[in-house]
Amino acid sequence: MSDQKLSLNQKIEELDKKVEWFYSDDFRLEQATDKYQDAVKLAKEVEKDLSELKNEIEVLSEDFSK
C-alpha cells in the first residue's frame, strides 16, 4: 500500500486482497505474521473511516429532522 491517501472503497478492496492472500497458493507461513499485521492495521483504518462516516450521517440526519 502506498503512502497516498486511499478512499474507503480502495481500503476495503486492498483489505480484501490481503485476506485473499491467506487462501492463495502464494501463502507462506514465514510471511503470515507481517501480512496479518498489515491487514489488521488496514482493518482498523477502515473501521475508523466507517465510524467517522456514520457520525457524519447522523449529524446530517439531525439537521434534516429539524
- Residue range 33-66, pLDDT digits in tens: 999 999 999 999 999 999 999 999 998 888 777 6
Cell 482498523 -> residue = 44
pTM of the model: 0.80
Angstrom distance (rounded) from CA 10 to CA 15: 9
| Structure-model confidence comparison of residues 14 and 65, the more confident one | 14
Query: Which residue stretches of 1-66 are H helix?
Result: 8-21, 29-65
Q: Tell me 24's DSSP state.
A: S
Long-range CB contact pairs, 8-14, < 8 A, 24+ = 8/46, 8/49, 8/50, 8/53, 11/42, 11/45, 11/46, 11/49, 12/46, 14/42
Query: What is the pLDDT, as a whole number, of residue 15?
Result: 97
